[in-house]
Structure 1
């Protein structure tokens, strides 16, 4: 009775969350091979959707954002602040050529940053009230181990993208670092080497973006929503992209364009863009992967 009436302080609450995370991590092996267990049934069905569905998921994403605006903004403040820190490091350590790859690469780890928003949308869909604390419910998810592994994969892809981008700079405008921002921009837009940097960077960056979209567009929400393994979630995501190439390409452009706009000025627009895209991604998952049925 005393324990029930006890009001926990933030330290106790944090320790409880860490304990939940530890328990979930112990289940990683189970989560990674759960697709192999007997009795799991057929692979999740994948549905074909239309362009009009993208408008619908964005509307629902805005609705989720509006329903808990203050809470979501509080969470989303973390992301632009992290971006500003990365930008400061780029300027402070003669890493100016990596400033754009850092900003554009943010889309590669966006699904990780939005995982708490998926959980909030899931809980709101079930009819319950949501708050920022509900985002930490991810730590208690049965598939948290698989979510963690997939997150590490995306982070590895992000680091690989930075390495490739820096290699492109070294072979075009390098190896010397730019003397100043104005000089760097002049070299990028007024020289042949600069345009080679732009073309190669955008082309290879596009391939990285397609890879991340393919393996993550519905996999993170599915791991929160269903008792499936990592391979099942990733393969379902790939099937969803394959079944809806035109719509998924449009979704990728919407995400990329929104993140670019949200980066101006000083990444502050991400305070609004990130929550809306995160919530909308949950509803996109609901559109593409129905609640039951055999594989499509």
Structure 2
């Protein structure tokens, strides 16, 4: 069972009771974060799977994902300039996912309280007190996503050059040229940094905004503190998310219709383990 963090005296701010550097993010009224283990992460994932079985929403996600796939395929029929951005766009699910999952957090919250959990109830999140803050933080993620695409395209242009003439030409550029190898290394490194930023700032913040009427600042601070206090469990969670999105994206993104709801519900339960509910 997760317990409240009990740091040593040398690590502790007397007025706060949190380990440095998480203590510097503390503000009066902020909730306590708990120290959890990797077993808690696996338990949150198991609860996410259980929520998905009880509240299947894959049809909703298929209705969203199919048009996205259709747009990509249609664009490929008319030109190949979008090819360099397909991988960055697919990776963008990890950046935008926390915002699009807020309806899932609401369903998990309602299930905890034995309320109606029909899929339409996911829209009840629009009536939560923190909805304005949710949209504000969602706008921040949108800017992060656009920034990622801009940098990814800039790296492609700088390291490889112009528009590929065909799919095979593009694959040859990426896999068999020195610029392509540099692009794979640099692109994945930069993408990892973007994903790490989003993971640390949103692992708690979006579920917390669904759960409580708090400011964006408090939600982000609490999320960062939770990550700093639990680096190994949060790293494991990030790995689970990355592998889940990769596996879900392989069959033309359709697998995401199952992966995304499971990860969304599991994130809610991870939040419950990370943040003390007594305040």
TM-score (norm 1): 0.82
Deviation at 1:249? 1.1
| CA deviation profile, 1:135-168 (whole Å, cap 9, x unmatched) | 1011111111000000010011000000000000
The answer for the alignment partner of 1:182 in structure 2 is 168
Question: Would the alpha carbon gap of residues 219 and 89 (structure 1) be closer, same or farther in structure 2, given more than 3 Å must change?
Answer: farther
- Please give the residue correspondences for 1:169-208 in structure 2 after superposition, counting only pairs within 5 Å: 169-174=156-161, 176-208=162-194
Structure 1: distance between partners of 2:90 and 2:172: 20
Structure 2: distance between partners of 1:177 and 1:271: 32
Structure 1: distance between partners of 2:171 and 2:85: 13
Structure 2: distance between partners of 1:190 and 1:47: 48
The answer for the alignment partner of 2:62 in structure 1 is 77
The yes-or-no answer on 1:223 pairing with 2:236 is no
Aligned partner of residue 210 in structure 2, secondary structure: helix
- Which one is further off, 161-170 or 122-131? 122-131
- Which one is further off, 55-64 or 84-93? 84-93
The answer for the alignment partner of 2:98 in structure 1 is 111
Structure 1: distance between partners of 2:118 and 2:173: 48
| CA deviation profile, 1:100-143 (whole Å, cap 9, x unmatched) | 00001111000111110000000001012311111101111111
The answer for the alignment partner of 2:153 in structure 1 is 166
The answer for the alignment partner of 1:42 in structure 2 is 29
Whether the 8 Å contact between 2:129 and 2:212 is mirrored in structure 1 is no
Structure 2: distance between partners of 1:86 and 1:278: 25
The yes-or-no answer on 1:246 pairing with 2:236 is no
The answer for the alignment partner of 1:272 in structure 2 is 258
- Count of matched residue positions in the alignment of Structure 1 and Structure 2: 251
- Where do 5+ consecutive residues of structure 1 fail to align? 1-39
Structure 1: distance between partners of 2:232 and 2:127: 35
Whether the 8 Å contact between 1:120 and 1:130 is mirrored in structure 2 is yes
Q: What is the Cα-based RMSD across aligned positions, in Å?
A: 1.5
Question: Would the alpha carbon gap of residues 198 and 89 (structure 1) be closer, same or farther in structure 2, given more than 3 Å must change?
Answer: farther
The answer for the alignment partner of 1:213 in structure 2 is 199
